[in-house]
Amino acid sequence: MAIATINPATGELLKTFEPLSDAEIAAKLDLAQQAFDSYRKTSFESRSLWLQKAADILEQEKSEFAKLMTLEMGKPYKAALGEAEKCAQVCRYYAENAAGFLADTQVLTDASHSFVRYQPMGVILAVMPWNFPFWQVFRFAAPALMAGNVGLLKHASNVPQCALAIETIIQRAGFLSGVFQTLLIGAAKVADLIADDRVKAATLTGSEPAGASLAAAAGKHIKKTVLELGGSDPFIVLESADLETAVSFATTARMLNNGQSCIAAKRFIVVEAIADKFEKLILEKFAALKVGDPMEPDTDLGPLATPHLLNELDHQVQTAVKSGAKVLTGGHRLSHRPGNFYEPTIITDIPPGSPTEQEEFFGPVALFFRVPDIDVAIKVANATPFGLGASAWTTNEQERDRLIEEIEAGAVFINGMVKSDPRMPFGGIKRSGYGRELSIEGLKEFVNVKTVWVK
């Protein structure tokens, strides 16, 4: 895949970038290692000041960064502004809390003095996706840098200008040179980086094949990985739910980021008693969505990020139809305009056992399942290879407790949509990956947990 900026709303090629040569990659690895040798000795106070400065830059120049995101991957501009603000938030969160989270933990043993110390690991490689081109990177970088690690970013090939902008923000914030570097390289170079002695661990957010390939390379060299992969999150609505609110959130949670979020509500699972009402209301909401230029302030749904994603999504929809599923609304690309636009779509009557039931739809397409009761709702919710998030709507306490206990996922949200929050861990189980980002758990993924025993 070429490293280039192509406007997804028009298809126009705006800028191409030469990938780094092997010699340039080697020089950046050397710089990263040298940077680590000094950076690991800096105090939490200094790191915290630099990270707060990065937060200031993100806030002050959010409109520039938002334009870049929208230009390169097509998210609505208003959402891109929110993304820049959220990056500032995660920087401030770790700037304020990392020192406390990583303080020595005293433990009583047979020693005169024993404790646990948390030390940085070194150069960490982050392989990141285009869908939240700033947020995905900052939620890795903020904890990693506060812990004293240094970062190398291999960003998705369709967001090179975002990748370079992030490197600049971190440099301008005052971090030592080489503490965070962007590598403009293709995916084929990742395995060599993992094999390099200077790289100590890696994190990848993206598809299952990419995650499996990175983890295999890391396994060969016995290096730790964190994987945040795909999801097909259920959105369960039970009879006691506040239906209007649930439908509103179902629409937002499916269409967020033009439908390209790992934690989007991809499967609406609704009990039969209220399914007709839900269907009527959700069709109204989908019909009211404004599809169009993502730079316009009132646009709800912009284009998909690449033509490849558009083709893949359309293929999935047509395959579903061929297998006997029914399209309630949408089901086509928007052919009257350039760019990678797809209609807001709902598919129902999905034949049991068909591939459609199991797949992730990465775009504005919802799967709608009618179920007789909570037992079947939970069964359907768990019947995918994924386990990232789940949203469930009920006002009944016993139902709530069962949903929390029985849903197989890294997160369960009751009467709310799944979202990430710097204060709470984020990650999945099953084929959605392993490890956690954000909160204290995310901070401790890339540290040496050292046992110290003194007599």
- Measured from the CB atom, is 52 or 131 closer to ligand NAP? 131
The least CB distance from residue 173 to ligand NAP, in Å, is: 23
Minimal CB distance residue for ligand NAP: 206
The least CB distance from residue 94 to ligand NAP, in Å, is: 18
- Concerning whether 228 is annotated as a catalytic residue, the answer is yes
The least CB distance from residue 283 to ligand NAP, in Å, is: 26
- Measured from the CB atom, is 66 or 125 closer to ligand NAP? 125
- Measured from the CB atom, is 402 or 419 closer to ligand NAP? 419
The least CB distance from residue 192 to ligand NAP, in Å, is: 11
Do residues 172 and 178 touch, judged by C-beta distance below 8 A?
Answer: no
- Measured from the CB atom, is 117 or 224 closer to ligand NAP? 224
- Concerning whether 91 is annotated as a catalytic residue, the answer is no
The least CB distance from residue 426 to ligand NAP, in Å, is: 7
Alpha-carbon distance of 380 to 369, in angstroms, equals: 8
Active-site option among 83, 162, 262, 399: 262
The least CB distance from residue 317 to ligand NAP, in Å, is: 17
Give residues with Cβ within 8 angstroms of 359, minimum separation 6.
232, 316
Binding site for ligand NAP (CB under 6 A): 1, 127-131, 154-157, 186-187, 190, 204-207, 210, 213-214, 228-231, 262, 360, 362, 388, 428, 433
The least CB distance from residue 189 to ligand NAP, in Å, is: 9
- Measured from the CB atom, is 162 or 388 closer to ligand NAP? 388
- Measured from the CB atom, is 58 or 128 closer to ligand NAP? 128
- Measured from the CB atom, is 144 or 275 closer to ligand NAP? 144
Active-site option among 228, 279, 399, 445: 228
Q: Which residues are catalytic?
A: 228, 262
